[in-house]
Amino acid sequence: MTGKNRENYNKNYIAYVNSFDPPTQHFKNCLRAFLVGGLICCIGQFMREIFEKVIGLNGDELSAAVSILLIFLGTLLTGFGVYDRIGRYAGAGSIVPITGFANSVASPAIEFKTEGLVYGMAAKMFIVAGPIIVYGVLAGTAVGLIYLFL
Amino acid sequence: MQTIFFENTPRIIATGTIAGPKECAGVVGKCVDKTLTDDMFGESTYEKAECKMLSYAITKAIENAGEEQSNIDMLISGDLLNQIISASFAARDFDFPFLGVYGACSTLAESYAIAAALLNAGYYKKIVAATGSHFSSAERQYRYPLELGNTRPPQSQWTVTGAGGAVIASEGSPTAITSATFGKVVDFGITDVNNMGAAMAPAAADTILAHLKETGRNADYYDLIITGDLGALGSRILKDLVWEKGVDIQNNHVDCGEIIYKVIEDEFQGGSGAGCSAVVFNSYIYEKLKRRELNRVLLAATGALLSTVSSGQGESIPCICHAVAIENL
C-alpha cells in the first residue's frame, strides 16, 4: 500500500491509538509550574533586594548581577544532577526561567564532553539552546524594527 | 511462507545476563548473573559500559555452558547504537567470527533465528547470540541530554540497561528452537517517537498471526507468547489487533517491557530497548523453561526501525517483529 491509500488506512489506526492517550493533567501541571516557577522568581527577587541594599548595586548592574547568579545556580544544579529532577516535576516552571536556559546549555555540554572539548562539548553545547537563541534574536530584531517605525 | 522449521532442533544450552540496578529491583533481579551497582560499569563513557555489558553477557553465557571460548564457532549480535558499535566493539574481545545484525529491539529474536538456521543446516556446532542496550547511551542518541530538565510524556518507555546472550548449540539441553517466523516491515503511520508501543504493535500482530497460521497452531498451544518491548499500551493494542483477526492471546501474552520494572516512576509504559527482551528472556523466562514451569514459548521481539534523521524529516516509524518458537523437548 502506498500513497493516499495508505494514509486512509492509517487514519483509523491513529485515531484508535489516540483514544488511549492519557488525559493531560492541566491543573496539576499548572500548579506545579506555578509553584516552582514562582519560587525561582522569588529567589531572584530576594537576590535583587540583597544586591541593592547590601552591595548597593542599581539599574542595569543590578539586573545583570541577578541574572549571572541565577545562571550560575542553574548550571551548578545541572552539574549536580538535580535540575533534571526539578524539571521533571515542574515542567515549564523550571524550563522558562533563565535557570532553565542555563540547564539547556550546560546539560549537552556535560553529555558530549566524552567526545572532546572542541568537537564534543563546545560544538554540541547549543544543540538544545541554539533554536532559542536563533529565534530569540529574530523575534528581537522584528520587534525592534516595529518599534523603530512606530 | 515466513516461517521456517528446524527439524534438527538446535538447543539453547546456557544464557548469560547482566542488568542495571533499576532493572534488578524487578522480577529479573534474582535471575541475572550480575547486577550492576554503577551504570558506568567502571568505564569512562556509557557507550563503553554498554559494550562491556555485552561482552560480559557473552563471556558469562559461554562460561555457564561449561564451554571454552575456542569451541564457539560464531557470535551473532547487534545493538541500538549507530553502526552497532557495542556489538562490533565487544566482538573485538573474542577470537571467533562475528555476524553483526540490526533489528533494533527485535535483535535478540533475529539473532536466535539466524543462529538456529545456521545450526540446523549443520554449518556450525555452537553459536553465541547476544544483544544489549543502555539507557544513557540510547537517551543521548535518540533523545535529549541526561541532565536536561524536561518532562517525559506518559506514553514513553524507559530503555533498559542490560545485556543478555545465549549459547545455542546443536545439542546439549532440552530447550530447543523449533521454528522461526521472520517478520515483514509494517508501518501504520505512527510518527510519535514517544509512542513506540503503538508503532510496533501492528508488526507484532502481523508476525504472531503469520506464525500461528503457518504452523497451524492455536494461540493456546504456547504457555506464553512473549513480546519484547511493546510496553503496557502497546500490549493492549496488540491484544486488540489479534482479537480482531479472531485470535485470543489475552491469557498467555506477556510483554518483557511491561514486567521488567517494579517501581513505576518515570518508566510509564515500561521498559524498551534491545536489552529488554535480552535480559528478561535470558534470565527470568529461561529459568522457568529450565525448571519446566514453562514448556512452549513464542518469543516475538519487536523493533522500531527509525533513526533520528527519519523522525526529524517527519517520516512515520516502520516496525518489524521476528518470532522464534522455543520448546522443551
pLDDT of B154 reads 83
Q: Which helix (H) or strand (E) holds A48?
A: helix A26-50
pLDDT of A1 reads 46
ipTM: 0.86
Which member of A22, A84, A91 has the closest CB to residue B148? Answer: A84
Q: Is the pTM of this model over 0.80?
A: yes
- The reply to whether residue A13 touches residue B154, judged by beta carbons under 8 angstroms, is no
| Domain locations along chain B | 3-169, 175-328
Which three three-digit cell numbers place residue A82? 538535580
Provide the shortest C-alpha distance from residue B100 to chain A (in Å).
Answer: 25
Q: How far apart are CA B184 and CA A103, in angstroms?
A: 42
The low-confidence residues of chain A, meaning pLDDT below 50, are: 1
Q: Is A21 on the interface with B (CB under 8 A)?
A: yes
The superfamily in CATH containing domain B3-169 is Stage V sporulation protein AD (3.40.47.40)
Decide: B35 and B19 in contact? Cβ < 8 Å: yes
Q: Is A104 on the interface with B (CB under 8 A)?
A: yes
**Alpha helix segments (H runs only) across B79-129:** 85-91, 107-120
Which three three-digit cell numbers place residue B269? 509504559
Q: Which CATH number fits domain B175-328: 3.40.50.300, 3.10.580.10, 3.40.50.720, 3.40.47.40?
A: 3.40.47.40
Mutate to test the interface with B, among A17, A24, A96 (most CBs of B within 10 A): A17
pLDDT of B266 reads 67
- The reply to whether residue A84 touches residue B147, judged by beta carbons under 8 angstroms, is yes
Q: How far apart are CA A93 and CA A40, in angstroms?
A: 9
Q: What is the pLDDT along chain B (329 residues), one digit of tens a residue?
A: 899 999 999 999 999 999 999 899 888 989 999 999 998 999 999 999 999 999 999 999 999 999 999 999 999 999 999 999 999 999 999 999 999 999 999 999 999 999 999 999 999 999 999 999 999 999 999 888 888 888 888 888 999 999 999 999 999 999 999 999 999 999 998 998 989 999 999 999 999 999 999 999 999 999 999 999 999 899 999 999 999 999 999 999 999 999 998 766 666 788 999 999 999 999 999 999 999 999 999 999 999 999 999 999 999 999 999 999 999 98
Q: How far apart are CA B78 and CA B98, in angstroms?
A: 10
pLDDT of A150 reads 85
Q: Is B154 on the interface with A (CB under 8 A)?
A: yes
Decide: B157 and B199 in contact? Cβ < 8 Å: no
| Domain locations along chain A | 23-125
- The reply to whether residue B151 touches residue A91, judged by beta carbons under 8 angstroms, is yes
The CA-based angle B220-B290-B79, given to 5 degrees, is 85
Q: Is B82 on the interface with A (CB under 8 A)?
A: no
pLDDT of B303 reads 95
Among the listed residues B138, B146, B152, the one whose alpha carbon sits nearest the alpha carbon of residue B276: B138
Which three three-digit cell numbers place residue A112? 558530549
- The reply to whether residue A128 touches residue B145, judged by beta carbons under 8 angstroms, is yes
Which three three-digit cell numbers place residue A55? 552591595
Taking only Cα atoms into account, the Rg of chain A, rounded to an integer number of angstroms, comes to 21
**Alpha helix segments (H runs only) across chain B:** 21-24, 46-64, 85-91, 107-120, 135-142, 196-215, 231-244, 256-260, 274-280, 286-290, 308-312
Mutate to test the interface with A, among B150, B186, B188 (most CBs of A within 10 A): B150
Q: Which of B59-63's residues contact partners 24+ apart within 8 Å by CB, and which partners?
A: B59/B16, B59/B93, B60/B16, B60/B17, B60/B18, B60/B33, B60/B34, B60/B165, B61/B14, B61/B15, B61/B16, B61/B128, B61/B130, B61/B165, B61/B166, B61/B167, B61/B282, B62/B14, B62/B16, B62/B128, B62/B167, B63/B16
The secondary structure of residue B300, as a DSSP letter, is E
Which residues of chain A have a CB within 8 Å of the CB of B144? 107, 128
Q: How far apart are CA B250 and CA B73, in angstroms?
A: 40
Q: Do B3-169 and B175-328 agree at the fold level? A: yes
Q: Is A19 on the interface with B (CB under 8 A)?
A: no
